[in-house]
Amino acid sequence: MSPLALVTAGLVLVSVLVLALAVAIAVVRAVRVRRAARARAVAEPLRPLLLEVAVGEGPEAEDAAAALAALDAPGWRSVEPAVLAVLGKVRGDGQRLLVELLAARGVVAGARRDLTARSAVRRATAAELLGAAGYAPAVAELGALLRDGDPEVRLVAARALGRAGAPGAVGSDVEEAPRAAATALLASLAGDRPAAPPDVVARSLLLVGTPAAPALLDALAAPEPLVRLTAAEVLGRLGTTTAAAALEDLVLRDPVDAVRVRSAAALGRLGVPSATSALRAATTPATASAVRRAAVRSLGEVGDPSSLRCLWGLLDDADGGVADAAAAALLALGAPGVRLLAQVSSQGASAPAAAVARAHEVVTCAVAAEVMPPAGLAEVEAVLADVLARATRGSVAEVAA
Amino acid sequence: MTGADVAGPLTALAGPLALLWPDPSSWGLFGHTVRGTVVVLVQLLAWPVLLYVLAINSSYLVLIGLAGADMGRYLRRARIRGVEDASASPLTQAVSVVMPAFDEEASVVGSVSAMLALRHPRHEVVVVDDGSRDATFALLREAFDLVEVPRRLTDEVPVRGAVRSVHVPRGGRSPLVVVRKDNGGRADAVNAGINAARHELVCITDADSVLDPDALLTVSRPFADDPLRVIATGGAVRAVNGSELVGGRVVGVRMPRGWTARFQVVEYLRAFCVGRSGWSRLQSLVLISGAFGMYRRDVLVEVGGLDATCIGEDFELTLRLHRYMREAGRDHRVVFVPEPASWTEVPATTAVLARQRRRWQRGLAETLWRHRRMVGNPRYGRIGLLALPYYVLFELVAPVIELVGVVLTPLAVGLGVVPWEAALLLMALCYGYAVVVTVAALLVEELSFHRSQRWRDLGRGLAAAVLENCGHRQLTALWRVQGLWSLLRGQRQVWGAMDRQGLAASGAASSAASSAPSQVRLPATAELAGPGRRRAGAEVLR
């Protein structure tokens, strides 16, 4: 074959390829558009029925659910994506009716079967569906899925457990589900590497809510730092005040700084005044910087006046982060804290320069941005008036002398 | 891959068709006559160029195939991504969006409004006014009722231009911080923004970019899924010219009217939406676009932020992150998220495009030179052994070879070294191959995200895939070689000016101004070149 013939053949091949690809694009688009139009045409009349089921009120909802359950296969296929799309967004009777509808259509059973499918995407999709359905009877299977070989499947299972174990879940095992879900979720964090991302586990534990508290309290004594850390975080966010003593203990004595940080933050969220002394103790210079910062922030959140002196002493701390946090905490303490900041700010040369600058910055920022509450503003004005009066007295005395 | 260089090298083959095999007996002609020199050049370059062309095109097709697989994987997981959960979770990692702005009065208010309205449970917007000479700050102050506060920024990342003032909305109405500083360039402004950022993740974007509503949530997701290893994520960047905006969001993807912009639409699809997916699939992503990237703030601080002395600072940063983590022996990942996207306005005139491409190529060369120790070095894993050699071979050198082809072919034909029919056939073949690559990328887009819906625009996209080979590619190669030349001659770095017409402003402001969203269509190419809307170095995309 001559070079010219080779080139010509190549050119023909390339042209055919371009043409084939262009036709493929057109066909893909045409098929998609047609399918979408057909699905819309079938699903559109059924949309009011779905809406009725999702609202879940009265016999109309029951009738609508029965009508959807009785659909023929093509009708159901066109409406199923819409059902799945609203599944995780409704609660109460609407959720119950949707799950019953899915159970009647065999979707729930299919999803439970798919939890052991070979394809990881199918297992994860099934877990996602059962989670979105808030299907309590699947908690044990979802818990087992936390030991799946695929990290994505474990992640989805952890997310699904939060919904299936939540108090609003549907199904026969509702009583047992939250506790089982919480135990499985916490167990997933044990071991060398967590089975699922800790923030996903924490979010699911938050969804499970108060029923998870006993398991979380036990977890504060777990040997794995990640378990203690997550339990502390969730207990703080759940507002479980009975955890305060155990959290104080962790702030003071846990060998892992990250656990101490989260425990300190949790105490701040709980806002229990009795935690003040433990938090104050955690601000000493011998403690790790991150722990000190968290403890200082939490002192501001707890808002106990007994922390005023401690925070004042930290305004010129060598660790800028701790000092900034102390200034912000004093501001968060309200009127007494603002008064102290305003006083330090107006002391000039008689106070450490760093403390004066920091106090001045935080007060003026809050005033300028108009985020200072009226009580705080009144304190600032009072201090300024006092400073002015003293200055005036001083000038008068000078003139008199 | 920029994709502008798929075909060019093959044109060099047009000459040597009849004399593919080197004939040393004729090499004595070199330098004697022009014809003799061309004959020798054609003989010497024929085989290397042929192999180069085969390799570069095949590599692009492999990348497109990998991207197709990656996008398929991504789409199959659409229902299990958990974006809904993340949008409501108090534990979702907070994000500081850093937007450097220089003379952005045309679009800044709309952009900032749109950024503040993005779906995310905890995000703040940090705008850094990099010494603007226009009304950028005045407009921001008026729109968001800003007040100056005596807040000191940390000095964790070095900043060249002095910070003048910090402003926040009165009463803390929105999570916005505006930092005013002396002009120091885009990278310097971003560094100031990193210092002002209070959250653990930093999203770097441009003041004229339009993000899809879920962009922050989706691009921050890999950090939550793999918190120990993921240090940076990059989002797709698409060309917005011609598209329909409502309330600062892209609601209808359209092809722009001008061909310069249309060529870039297909280029962006090929390079950003397909090419980078391929690299991400190979776990060798070395470039996160400056228009839309997210980073762990602590790691940014550790590496000292962006390098303000480098013209390709986005590429340099990604490379430096890889290098730093590798040298510290820390396992890490840089992930590309193909959807949703950041929409950016591409140059609509060849003059602006030329400046942009010169700058990109120069930045690429500079960065590769700085990190030359990594190239081919097994210590840096796939980055050193695969991605960087590829960038040197096919991104740095490609325009030079393309230009050689573009110059040599007509010379060879004109001097009778090669018959014109053969040259034409070869050119058609190599550019045909280039079209195959582009149309394959369009097919991947159609199969995956198919953001463009109109048949008319599909036709225009296919036409652009063909017509970009008739002048645009050759010019692009010339501009890129000029960029390399300016570096070799040690010319001063110059940020090109970019004419803007304020696309985000019109879209976003429409929603801010009235409850009934008005529809905004971007003007055509001819209308884009408004005087006085200049910005320095915001669009460092490659």
Mutation target among A4, A16, A21, A152 for the B interface, most CBs of B within 10 A: A21
Put simply, the chain A residues between 253 and 292 with a CB less than 8 A from any chain B CB are none
Q: Name the region of B247 (left: φ>0; alpha: ψ -120 to 50; beta: rest).
A: left
Task: Inspect the interface and report whether the beta carbons of B432 and A198 lie closer than 8 Å.
Answer: no
Structural domain includes residue A393: yes
A272 and A373 housed in the same domain? no
- Chain A hits for B446, CB-CB cut-off 8 Å, are 25, 28-29
Q: Is residue A1 less than 8 Å (CB to CB) from chain B? A: no
Determine the residue of chain A that is closest to B92 in CA distance: A199
Which domain CATH number covers A201? 1.25.10.10
Average pLDDT over residues B103-117: 89
Chain A: closest CA distance from residue B374 (Å): 31
A220 and A297 housed in the same domain? yes
Structural domain includes residue A196: yes
* Cα–Cα distance, B213 to B507 (Å, whole number): 14
A277 and A193 housed in the same domain? yes
Put simply, the chain A residues between 25 and 64 with a CB less than 8 A from any chain B CB are 25-26, 28-29, 32
- Chain B hits for A18, CB-CB cut-off 8 Å, are 432, 435-436, 439
- Chain B hits for A26, CB-CB cut-off 8 Å, are 458
A222 and A290 housed in the same domain? yes
pLDDT by position in tens, chain A (length 401): 566 777 788 888 889 999 999 999 999 999 999 988 888 887 788 888 888 888 877 788 888 888 888 888 888 888 888 888 888 788 888 888 888 889 888 999 999 999 999 999 999 999 999 998 888 899 999 999 999 999 889 999 999 999 899 887 787 666 788 999 999 999 999 887 888 888 889 999 999 999 999 999 999 999 999 899 999 999 999 999 999 999 999 999 999 998 999 999 999 999 999 999 999 999 999 999 999 999 999 999 998 999 999 999 999 898 888 998 999 999 998 889 999 999 888 876 577 888 888 888 888 888 888 888 888 888 888 888 888 888 777 776 766 66
Task: Inspect the interface and report whether the beta carbons of B429 and A202 lie closer than 8 Å.
Answer: no
pLDDT in tens, B293-350: 999 999 999 999 999 888 888 999 999 999 999 999 988 999 998 877 888 888 989 9
Give the domain-ending residue among A253, A279, A302.
A302
Q: Is residue A356 less than 8 Å (CB to CB) from chain B? A: no
Average pLDDT, chain B: 81
Task: Write the CB contacts of A107 (distance below 8 Å, at least 6 apart in sequence).
Answer: A80, A129
- Chain B hits for A88, CB-CB cut-off 8 Å, are 84
* B224-229: long-range pairs with CB below 8 Å, 24+: B224/A197, B224/A199, B224/A200, B224/B86, B224/B92, B224/B93, B225/A155, B225/A197, B225/A200, B226/A197, B226/B333, B227/A197, B227/A198, B227/A199, B228/B331, B229/B331, B229/B332, B229/B333
Distance of CA A53 to the CA centre of its chain: 30
Tell me the two tokens of residue B296: 């762990």
Q: Which residue has 């229902």 as its token pair?
A: B79
Nearest CB partner across the interface for B432, out of A11, A25, A233:
A11
pLDDT of residue B537: 32
E strand or H helix that includes residue B98 = strand B95-101
Maximum separation of any 2 CA atoms in chain A, in Å? 117
A280 and A259 housed in the same domain? yes
Determine the residue of chain B that is closest to A84 in CA distance: B79
Using the predicted structure, report yes or no on whether residue B512 has a pLDDT greater than 80: no
Burial of B24 (C-beta count, 10 Å sphere; 0-12/13-18/19+): exposed
Task: Inspect the interface and report whether the beta carbons of B224 and A14 lie closer than 8 Å.
Answer: no
Nearest CB partner across the interface for B151, out of A17, A233, A365:
A365
Distance of CA B103 to the CA centre of its chain: 21
pLDDT of residue B126: 97
Name the DSSP class of B497. P
A246 close to A218: Cβ distance less than 8 angstroms: no
A295 and A332 housed in the same domain? no
Chain B: closest CA distance from residue A18 (Å): 5
Maximum separation of any 2 CA atoms in chain B, in Å? 84
Instruction: Work out the angle at residue B501's Cα, subtended by the Cα atoms of residues B500 and B506, and round it to the nearest 5 degrees.
Output: 135
Task: Inspect the interface and report whether the beta carbons of B90 and A159 lie closer than 8 Å.
Answer: no
Nearest CB partner across the interface for B227, out of A17, A197, A206:
A197
A202 and A298 housed in the same domain? yes
Name the DSSP class of A137. G
Nearest CB partner across the interface for A128, out of B76, B80, B149:
B80
Tell me the two tokens of residue A221: 């004594």
Task: Inspect the interface and report whether the beta carbons of A14 and B93 lie closer than 8 Å.
Answer: no
Q: Name the region of B305 (left: φ>0; alpha: ψ -120 to 50; beta: rest).
A: left
Domains: count for chain A? 2
Give the domain-ending residue among A302, A320, A351.
A302
Structural domain includes residue A226: yes
E strand or H helix that includes residue A376 = helix A374-400
Q: Cis before residue B121, ω within 30 degrees of 0?
A: no
Nearest CB partner across the interface for A159, out of B85, B92, B433:
B85
Task: Inspect the interface and report whether the beta carbons of B425 and A197 lie closer than 8 Å.
Answer: no
Q: Which residue has 């599944």 as its token pair?
A: A87
A237 and A292 housed in the same domain? yes
Structural domain includes residue A113: no
The residue count for chain A: 401
Using the predicted structure, report yes or no on whether residue B260 has a pLDDT greater than 70: yes
Instruction: Tell me which residue of B321, B285, B333, B350 sits closest to B529, measured CA to CA.
Output: B350
Distances (CA, A) of B26 to A102, B23, B41: 81, 6, 11
Determine the residue of chain A that is closest to B89 in CA distance: A203
Tell me the two tokens of residue A228: 């203690």
* Cα–Cα distance, A258 to A275 (Å, whole number): 18
* Cα–Cα distance, A394 to A390 (Å, whole number): 6
A296 and A323 housed in the same domain? no
Mutation target among B429, B435, B445 for the A interface, most CBs of A within 10 A: B429
Q: Whole-angstrom distance between the N-terminal and C-terminal Cα of chain A?
A: 117
Q: Is residue A128 less than 8 Å (CB to CB) from chain B? A: yes
Instruction: Tell me which residue of A357, A281, A349, A282 sits closest to A316, measured CA to CA.
Output: A357
Task: Inspect the interface and report whether the beta carbons of A368 and B150 lie closer than 8 Å.
Answer: yes
Structural domain includes residue A200: yes
- Chain B hits for A238, CB-CB cut-off 8 Å, are none
- Chain A hits for B77, CB-CB cut-off 8 Å, are 121, 124, 152
E strand or H helix that includes residue B179 = strand B176-181
Name the DSSP class of B171. G
Q: In the A/B pair of chains, how many CB contacts fall below 8 A?
A: 122
Nearest CB partner across the interface for A156, out of B80, B89, B152:
B80
Task: Write the CB contacts of B181 (distance below 8 Å, at least 6 apart in sequence).
Answer: B128, B129, B130, B131, B159, B161, B162, B163, B164, B188, B189, B192
Tell me the two tokens of residue B499: 């004419």
Average pLDDT over residues B392-397: 91
Structural domain includes residue A400: yes
Chain A: closest CA distance from residue B299 (Å): 17
Q: Which residue has 């391929």 as its token pair?
A: B278
Mutation target among B85, B122, B154, B426 for the A interface, most CBs of A within 10 A: B85
Containing domain of residue A364, as a range? 307-401
B390-425 burial by CB neighbour count: b if 16+ within 10 A, else e?
bbbebbbbbbbbbbbbbebbebbbebebbeeebbeb
Task: Inspect the interface and report whether the beta carbons of A152 and B77 lie closer than 8 Å.
Answer: yes
Task: Inspect the interface and report whether the beta carbons of A197 and B92 lie closer than 8 Å.
Answer: no
Other CB atoms closer than 10 Å to residue B376's CB: what's the count?
13
Mutation target among B80, B228, B230, B437 for the A interface, most CBs of A within 10 A: B80
Chain A: closest CA distance from residue B17 (Å): 7
Task: Inspect the interface and report whether the beta carbons of A125 and B80 lie closer than 8 Å.
Answer: yes
Q: At what angle do helices B398-414 and B472-488 cross, to 10 degrees?
A: 120
What strand order describes the sheet that includes B201-205?
A: B146-149, B163-169, B176-181, B123-130, B95-101, B201-205, B292-296, B230-239, B333-344, B210-211
pLDDT of residue B516: 32
Put simply, the chain A residues between 287 and 346 with a CB less than 8 A from any chain B CB are 320
| Percent of chain B clearing pLDDT 90 (strictly above) | 40
A215 and A291 housed in the same domain? yes
Determine the residue of chain B that is closest to A361 in CA distance: B150
* Cα–Cα distance, B542 to B540 (Å, whole number): 7
Any alpha helices (H) in B89-207, and if so which ranges? Answer: 108-116, 136-144, 186-196
Q: Is the ipTM of this complex over 0.90?
A: no
A122 close to A104: Cβ distance less than 8 angstroms: no
Structural domain includes residue A168: no
pLDDT band at B497 (very low <50, low <70, confident <90, very high): low
B122 SS3 class: coil
Residue type at position A101: L
Average pLDDT over residues B24-40: 73
E strand or H helix that includes residue A129 = helix A120-132
Chain B: closest CA distance from residue A399 (Å): 35
A271 and A344 housed in the same domain? no
B366 SS3 class: helix
B269 or B388, which is more confident:
B388
Give the domain-ending residue among A249, A269, A302.
A302
Chain A: closest CA distance from residue B459 (Å): 9
E strand or H helix that includes residue B351 = helix B350-370
- Chain A hits for B229, CB-CB cut-off 8 Å, are none
Structural domain includes residue A352: yes
A347 and A366 housed in the same domain? yes
Task: Inspect the interface and report whether the beta carbons of B436 and A26 lie closer than 8 Å.
Answer: no
